[in-house]
Chains A and B, each alone.
Chain A
Amino acid sequence: MSTVVKIENLVKRYKELVAVDHMNLSIGKGEIFGLLGPNGSGKSTIINCLLSLTDYDKGEITVFGEKMRADNYSVKGRIGVVLQNVAVFDELTVYENIDYFCSLYVSDKEKRKTLVQEAIAFVGLEEFVKFYPKKLSGGLLRRLNIACGIAHKPELIIFDEPTVAVDPQSRNKILEGIQELNRQGATVIYTSHYMEEVEQICSRIAIIDKGQLVATGTKDELKSMIQTGETIRVEVPELTSDVLFGLEKLSHVLSVEYNDGLATIKCNGGRHNVLHVLEYLNNTETSFGRVFAEQPTLNDVFLEITGKELRDEVQ
């Protein structure tokens, strides 16, 4: 797999604040690469450096094998950008907006006409082509924002938190669209602080905190980096200390907590953990109610590596 983006030793400071701290990333062709981190972790700064929208203090960024600079227009022409805020002209209609932003990449009017129509169809704005942005709902505006960024059919598309303040229905449509673009051959960089979204669509994920790369890999690789594997929760009306001790002694069990009739058993890998726990409870004649089993989430990964909840820092 050839490398599309390579970030080496990137450092960006805002006076005393180190926004990006010696960042190293490599993104391969055809990936949906997720940048996951809480607000203010440095995701957008990395994107701005990558797009040469801001200067950086140290490091090197290579895109499509060429050093990325503000005046490297041949590389810029191969990149599509969907920024966090809806960036469209209020004075232009949906069609005119997409056409204008597409014209920044494609000068041929006939070719552009086809591309604009395809982009409109892709985001499902066919009925709104003559509408002005102020007449569109939040979800439709986001779709317009995406269409403006992808109309020229870029090879690399950067989505910077495209689902902020979007209703669930539109969010799903956006995520499906991103996956479709990836299937059509585009490499995608997707930044978000919604771990569910990143987990849902990204083939590889980089977890970022305070400008530093905390971990990178596929979601399974990330989850395997932490001790916590499966978490089993069992409703147990009464649990004796002997049974509690026995549960802790089971193989692959990391810890057992018992609070308000709910036993939380954390396992580190292993197979059939639920079966083993229930078997033990039966053998000790301990009655139990409902049973829940959860695989580790990226929040668990973030928690174990940084010592804080990812959710704590998001809306």
Chain B
Amino acid sequence: MRVVLKIVKKALPSVSMYFIIFFGMTIAMSFLTGKDQEKMYQATELTIYVEDKDTSVLSNALTEYLAKENEVETEYDKELLSELLFSGLVDYVVYFEEGFEENFLSGKKGGIERQSTKPNMAFVDQKIELFFQYVRGELAMGKTLEDACASVLKNTENRAETEVLSGRQAMSTRPGYFFFTFLAYILPCILIMVLGPVMYSFYRKDIKMRTDCGKVTVRKQNIEVVKGIALVAVALWALFMGLGAIIYHRDFTPAEYLLGTLNSLVMLLFSVAISVLLGVLLPNVEALNGASNILGLGMSFLCGVFVPAYLLPDYVNKIGEFLPAGWYMKNVILLNEENAATEHFTEFLMNCGVVTAFAVAVFFVFLVVVKRKKVA
């Protein structure tokens, strides 16, 4: 067991990094979802300064048109305008010179000047040009300028509505949700990095030959390795769950947190099983680190860990059902709703059972691989 711990010690710097990232991400996401999300989304408005020397129907209509989606100011001190533009307090300036409307009606250009210091203001130019096109279109239909402007202003009243989803279909507002969610990524990742090298070292052909020559029975040697692996796995899991309990105990009832703990325990079983299998299958420790990322990230993206399942295409969700993290996440979603996990306790247990079945299947494959290695 001492050797197991020595090997694990070598992986600790990387594990610490993952540990910090995990809790950093979890706390950050929890903090963000703790706020009223609707306040987090705000339409972008520009500050536009308009100086109108024409005071015509057309200039008034265009000013009104711009004011629909932007903040239009006409009271700025002209001498300060350059400074306001430079400092970004004003995004765009429109000057209507005398004769602007006349020029427009006679098909001449001019009478309007535009100014901006920001590079991304071309879309305001486009909006103004679009306004002119609409008015010309209306005039071509025989309307007077007043009617044409009124028609354009009326037709551009509709604004695209943005809605922040709420309820089960939306992102959780329960901060602890992210703690259980990200466990589906971090547990397999860390355990492959920590336990994989242990199994790789002990089952390396030359080392195995040497240890098999020893006076200590193979059974006793295996027990020592299993003890070491169990100790490390349980210690890491307990650390996560302990810190999770300290930070998020208010988000769940004791029964819910207990169910979350059970759910993470079966995920731990699967993570241990996949770690020991990869440890005896892969040719070196570098390959194990690669596998840890591929498996951890791959499973997380396919099972709705990083992107909620309701935002993923159906076929991705179908693939997720063939992965243990998919079933783990079903339980996390139940935990996210108040009392859902306790009310759907049978479903919750069944999901845990599926993850356990995955763990048993992977462990069985591990035994077959070890047996085949011995025969070879």
Contact = CB atoms under 8 A, between A and B. Distances in A.
B7 interface: yes
A53 B201 contact: no
Contacts of B53: none
Nearest to A106: B215
B78 interface: no
B215 A76 contact: yes
B79 interface: no
A192 to B, nearest CB: 18
A87 B6 contact: no
B207 interface: yes
B240 to A, nearest CB: 24
Contacts of B221: 104
B119 interface: no
Interface in A90-105: 90-92, 96, 100-101, 103-105
Nearest to B207: A87
Interface in B183-209: 197, 201, 204-207, 209
Nearest to A82: B210
A131 interface: no
A88 B7 CA distance: 13
A71 B216 CA distance: 10
A175 interface: no
A298 interface: no
Contacts of B209: 48, 51, 53, 81, 83, 87
Contact of B211 (A70, A90, A104): A104
A73 B217 CA distance: 7
B213 A89 contact: no
B9 to A, nearest CB: 8
Contacts of A87: 204, 206-207, 209-210
Nearest to A55: B375
Nearest to B214: A104
Interface size class of B (residues with CB under 8 A): 20 to 34
Contact of B7 (A73, A83, A91): A91
A85 interface: yes
B3 A92 contact: yes
Contact of B215 (A70, A73, A89): A73
B200 to A, nearest CB: 10
B10 A89 contact: no
A100 B3 contact: yes
A51 to B, nearest CB: 5
Secondary structure class of chain B's binding surface, majority of residues: helix
Interface string B246-284: 000000000000000000000000000000000000000
A53 B206 contact: no
Secondary structure class of chain A's binding surface, majority of residues: loop
A89 B7 contact: yes
A91 B215 contact: no
Contacts of A51: 209, 212-213
Given A73-B217, A96-B6, A104-B216, A89 B207 contact: yes
B17 to A, nearest CB: 19
Interface residues of A, number: 28
A76 B220 CA distance: 15
Contacts of A148: 210
Contacts of A96: 3, 6
A269 interface: no
Contact of A104 (B9, B204, B205, B215): B215
Contacts of A53: 209, 212-213
A86 interface: yes
Nearest to B9: A91
A259 B209 CA distance: 52
A20 interface: no
Interface in B217-237: 217-218, 221
Q: Which of A77, A79, A85, A87 has most B Cβ within 10 Å?
A: A87
A105 B210 contact: no
Contact of A77 (B2, B7, B204, B215): B215
A105 B214 contact: yes
A48 B216 CA distance: 18
Interface of B: 2-3, 6-7, 9-10, 197, 201, 204-207, 209-218, 221
5 contacts: A51-B209, A71-B217, A74-B215, A104-B214, A104-B221
Given A87-B204, A89-B207, A91-B6, 8 more contacts: A51-B212, A81-B210, A87-B206, A91-B7, A100-B3, A104-B214, A148-B210, A149-B210
Interface of A: 48, 51, 53, 70-71, 73-74, 76-77, 79, 81, 83, 85-92, 96, 100-101, 103-105, 148-149
